[in-house]
Amino acid sequence: NEHYTSYGIEKLEKAISDVTGIMPDKYLVIDMQTFSKAIDTIGGINITVEKDLSDMAYPGPNGTYTTFSIAKGTYTFDGETALKYARSRHSTSDFDRAIRQQKIAQAVVEKLKEKDFLSQIKSSANIFLDILEGVKTDTSAMEFLAYFKKYQKYELETGNVLTTANYLSSTTNQRGQYILLPKTENDNEIQKYLAELILQ
């Protein structure tokens, strides 16, 4: 996030390539309001919450904090709830949050399949155009539909997260900030893992 804010998307793509060994083909930067709007636009998403979550310090308006709690179970999330579930970071780790975000991405794909957007090209294109107004991307609405058609049977695998339990170690930098580094002296093991995962 800091790298993107300081240097922009092209430098971020290069940084991702340096760490992972894989250069992103396309990019999409979505803000929180558009994320919520997109979920509402497709009619919400179905999510199974596998364990209770209670965040007593979820960001509220004007620098305040509020409570976001949800019990274990299966739900249909609207955009606002999906955003809270994706963003919540207190009481769970950033690694847990990454897994939740993957589950949300999977749920979005499943909803698009359920709604059969490909049989309604005109209305689907209008939906994507509406959503794209709030994002930065190098992909058009029609390209999104083409990608979806091509990969609609692709099974997303969730739970693949780089953590301190596999390839990362935690430490602090010179300013005392929490950071993650490869357990080995370079990124080779991470690159091998991602290559097997993504390029298979």
pLDDT of residue 117: 67
pLDDT tens, the chain, 200 aa long = 788 999 999 999 999 998 899 999 999 898 898 999 989 988 999 999 999 999 999 998 888 999 999 999 999 999 999 999 999 988 788 899 999 999 999 999 888 888 776 666 666 677 777 777 788 999 887 888 788 788 877 777 888 899 999 999 999 999 999 999 998 877 889 999 988 888 76
Structure tokens at 140: 């058009």
Q: Which of 122, 94, 108 is nearest to 37 (CA)?
A: 108
Q: Which of 13, 42, 54 is nearest to 138 (CA)?
A: 13
For residues 159-189, one letter each, b for 16 or more C-beta atoms within 10 angstroms of the residue's C-beta and e for the rest, the string is: eebbeeeebbeeeeeeeeeeeeebeeeebee
Segment (H or E) for 83 = helix 79-87
C-alpha–C-alpha distance, residues 128 and 2, integer Å: 28
Structure tokens at 157: 């695998």
β-pairing verdict for 135-137 and 73-77: unpaired
Largest CA distance in the chain: 55
DSSP 3-state of 174? coil
Beta strands per DSSP E along 14-162 = 28-30, 45-49, 53-59, 65-70, 73-77, 135-137
The 8-class DSSP code of residue 158 comes to P
Q: What is the pTM of this model?
A: 0.82
